[in-house]
Chains A and B, each alone.
Chain A
Amino acid sequence: QQQVKQSPQSLIVQKGGISIINCAYENTAFDYFPWYQQFPGKGPALLIAIRPDVSEKKEGRFTISFNKSAKQFSLHIMDSQPGDSATYFCAARGLYNNNDMRFGAGTRLTVKP
């Protein structure tokens, strides 16, 4: 049933480095691609999202790159900080179908000081 594949499973980055998490999707009907951040003991929280009419979206240190032809998108965290240590989930759904949201398996990011 998995329709969104996420890699890597875990990632260790030094403070100040760039964290890159990749996702690939199968369903061409997907047209909304959010990233969620989850801290231990907390629910996921929306971090940033993109629609396929643009190839990149940047919010502060967080950037989504989107490749529609390859059906891939990625999250880049610039100048990674220890406070960014969390699990990150990519997701995909149809534009107006929250009930069709498919999540990736998650990436556990550790940023070392």
Chain B
Amino acid sequence: EAGVAQSPRYKIIEKRQSVAFWCNPISGHATLYWYQQILGQGPKLLIQFQNNGVVDDSQLPKDRFSAERLKGVDSTLKIQPAKLEDSAVYLCASSPGDGNSPLHFGNGTRLTVT
């Protein structure tokens, strides 16, 4: 079983620039999550999709962050404009969708905002 794929692995941008991250979940997984992991902290949920619908985006800074999962498969997370405090690893995770299955994480995208 192929794992969760994320790209790019690393991204360095200047503040106020925009950036996009891509995630391809495990085949057949209905639920997709984006987490933000700041250095020295545990992952924090940004947004959860069930197929192509948003289940929870209560912790997504909607003034600068957006995410979509148009066809219910892969997903894109965008930051525009980036701030210094957005420097973090952005993790994508997926699960089959029954709410009880473990999360499968990708290796993340490390974002540095200078």
Which positions in A face B, CB cutoff 8 Å? 4, 6, 32, 34, 41-46, 49, 89, 91, 95-99, 101, 103-106
Contact = CB atoms under 8 A, between A and B. Distances in A.
Contacts, number: 55
A99 B56 contact: yes
Chain B interface size band reads 20 to 34
Contacts of B82: none
6 contacts: A6-B42, A43-B4, A43-B105, A46-B103, A89-B43, A105-B40
Interface of B: 4, 31, 33, 40-45, 48, 55-56, 91, 93, 95, 98-103, 105-108
Task: Point out which of A42, A49, A91, A99 has the most chain B C-beta atoms below 10 A from its C-beta.
Answer: A99
B99 A103 contact: no
A43 B107 contact: yes
Contacts of B48: 98-99
Contact of B100 (A4, A46, A95): A95
Contacts of A41: 107
Contacts of B102: 34, 46, 49
Contacts of B33: 98-99
Given A43-B105, A44-B105, A98 B43 contact: no
